[in-house]
Amino acid sequence: MGRGRLVATFVWKEVVDLVRDRATLAMAILLPLILLPLTAATAMGLRGQQETPKIYIEVEERHHCTIICPGTVLSMGTVLEMLEEGAISRGLSIASSPGDADLWIRIAPGFLPNVSSFERQALIYIELVPGSSRAQQAFDTVMQVIGEISNRVSEMKVRCLGNYSRDALCTPILVVYSYRVPGVGTVPFEEAARYSLARLLVFSLMFVLSPVTLYLVDSIVGEKERRTLEALMALPIAKHSFVLGKVVSSSVVGLVAAASDAAGLILYFNILSGGAVRLDPLLVAMHGIAIYVTVLLSLSIALPVVLRSPSYRSANMASLGIIGAASAIYMAALFVDLYALKGPAALAIHLDPFTYTALFIHYAVFGNYTLAAAYIATAAAVSVALITVSAYMVDYEKLVYTVRE
């Protein structure tokens, strides 16, 4: 049998073993597609079913009133009415006692004289339960209502001054913003969301890592447990054929799991955002390329470690270390512009080859295809180099006699 035929036969054997393990494939495909959207739907559904957030309002000068200017009177009753009606119309309820509330509002003494003054500010104190989603929801709502009350009082004061515009007096500087993409120009908000989605796609690469490395560990070290490794070693299989077969089979399960995880993640954010997240063909294509190269990177980095691991447990622990190193980059990409780092920080992240797939997506989405191609080619080259090194590291005798449970 020719060498090429032998390589193809061994690769086919590995793929067939994977396909026969239907439970693993089914879980790799279905679990992310079910669990991630289910998580989002559960969170949204439970939030809608939770008890209405309650606020308690404390005020001492309930029946007082103040004159802002002749003909313009503001009473505490009016302020409380606007506050309570605004809160109730936005889904809050008013607690009858302090012990029932999620958020407490205390209108400070002297509120009316201060709010009607042209020289002083009135105070409202707010306290909320820390770590409570209901309290945070109540706080956001109350701040909106107080903002509307503040605008109403401003309008009253402006009318007292004469025929002036409240906006011109209270907000003399108006900011109009838009999004600009370097090399492209100003883009609409819908297009800007596409660029923001690139961060999410980089983050989703993190889901590639675990299934790929864990399957690789099982594929190599697990052969010993199933007592099939000795039989494989007895065949005239070249080292590079052995490595290639393991890489191909592991990449298949990695691609399946990664695609499913990415789809589940997009569904997750679509549910949370009410369908605001959109994908276009370019993003899908770029993400597909990045997933494949990330799979190769994961395999190529884990392979030398797994081949030299003395036990199943140590191989798993080593693979978790690799996953952590890569996850740090993809997690950081959510909060940091990796391309903007300078000096030692830029050098440090470029020592991690997973950075290249993250930067590939960024530059591809922003239209810099030259840099995008350079980064993805570098990542692919690193993968090929490490897989080649791994082929030379294979020691059949050590694989058979040192790998133990």
Tens digits of per-residue pLDDT, 80-95?
Answer: 999 999 999 998 999 9
Contact indicator for 254, 24 with CB cutoff of 8 Å: no
What average pLDDT does this structure show over 164-172?
Answer: 71
Residue-by-residue DSSP string for 123-181: -EEEEE-TT-HHHHHHHHHHHHHHHHHHHHHHHHHHHHH-S--HHHHH--------EEE
- Written as six digits, the tokens of 121 are 């500010």
Q: Is the pLDDT of residue 129 over 60?
A: yes
The proportion of the chain whose per-residue pLDDT surpasses 70, expressed as a percent, equals 75
What average pLDDT does this structure show over 120-132?
Answer: 88
Q: Is the pLDDT of residue 373 over 90?
A: yes
Burial class (CB in 10 A: 0-12, 13-18, 19+), 103: buried
- Between 231 and 101, whose confidence is greater? 101
- Between 107 and 402, whose confidence is greater? 107
Looking at the whole model, is its pTM more than 0.85?
no
Amino acid, res. 327: S
Amino acid, res. 123: L
353 secondary structure, DSSP code: T
Q: Is the pLDDT of residue 226 over 90?
A: no
User: Within a 10 A sphere around the Cβ of 139, how many other Cβ atoms?
Assistant: 19
Residue-by-residue DSSP string for 18-38: HHH-HHHHHHHHHHHHHHHHH
Contact indicator for 280, 190 with CB cutoff of 8 Å: no
Burial class (CB in 10 A: 0-12, 13-18, 19+), 392: exposed
Query: How do residues 176-218 score in pLDDT, each as one tens digit?
Result: 877 877 677 787 876 777 777 777 778 777 776 777 777 777 6
Taken as a whole, the chain contains a residue count of 405
pLDDT band at 235 (very low <50, low <70, confident <90, very high): low
The pLDDT assigned to 48 comes to 67
Report how far apart, in Å, the C-alpha atoms of 69 and of each of 119, 157, 158, 160, 164 are.
14, 8, 10, 6, 15
C-alpha Rg value of the chain to the nearest Å: 31
The pLDDT assigned to 403 comes to 46
Q: Is the pLDDT of residue 245 over 70?
A: yes
The pLDDT assigned to 239 comes to 66
Report how far apart, in Å, the C-alpha atoms of 255 and of each of 134, 238, 296, 377 are.
40, 26, 10, 19
* Domains in the chain, CATH or no CATH each: 7-44+190-402 (no CATH), 53-170 (3.40.1710)
pLDDT band at 400 (very low <50, low <70, confident <90, very high): low
Q: Is the pLDDT of residue 300 over 90?
A: no
Q: Enumerate residues 6+ apart whose C-beta is below 8 A from 80.
A: 57, 59, 62
Give per-residue burial for 77-87: e unless 16+ CB within 10 Å, then b. Answer: eebbebbbebb
- Between 392 and 310, whose confidence is greater? 392
Report how far apart, in Å, the C-alpha atoms of 273 and of each of 40, 386, 403 are.
10, 41, 48
Contact indicator for 105, 125 with CB cutoff of 8 Å: yes
The pLDDT assigned to 242 comes to 73
What average pLDDT does this structure show over 314-343?
Answer: 80
Contact indicator for 202, 362 with CB cutoff of 8 Å: yes
The pLDDT assigned to 222 comes to 65
What CA–CA distance (Å, rounded) separates 277 from 392?
46
Q: Is the pLDDT of residue 404 over 50?
A: no
pLDDT band at 376 (very low <50, low <70, confident <90, very high): very high
- Between 341 and 250, whose confidence is greater? 341
The pLDDT assigned to 152 comes to 87
What CA–CA distance (Å, rounded) separates 131 from 10?
55
What average pLDDT does this structure show over 1-7?
Answer: 57
Largest CA distance in the chain: 105
Contact indicator for 364, 278 with CB cutoff of 8 Å: no
What CA–CA distance (Å, rounded) separates 104 from 102?
7
What is the rounded average pLDDT for all residues in the chain?
78
Task: Dihedral sign for Cα 17, 22, 27, 32, please.
Answer: positive
Instruction: Please name which of 238, 205, 245, 148 lies closest in space to residue 338, comparing C-alpha atoms.
Output: 205
Query: How do residues 29-80 score in pLDDT, each as one tens digit?
Result: 776 677 667 777 777 777 666 778 899 999 887 778 888 877 778 888 898 9
Q: Is the pLDDT of residue 104 over 90?
A: yes
The pLDDT assigned to 405 comes to 44
Instruction: Please name which of 78, 52, 84 lies closest in space to residue 65, comparing C-alpha atoms.
Output: 78
- Between 127 and 303, whose confidence is greater? 127
What CA–CA distance (Å, rounded) separates 371 from 327?
23
Q: Is the pLDDT of residue 383 over 80?
A: yes
- Between 212 and 374, whose confidence is greater? 374
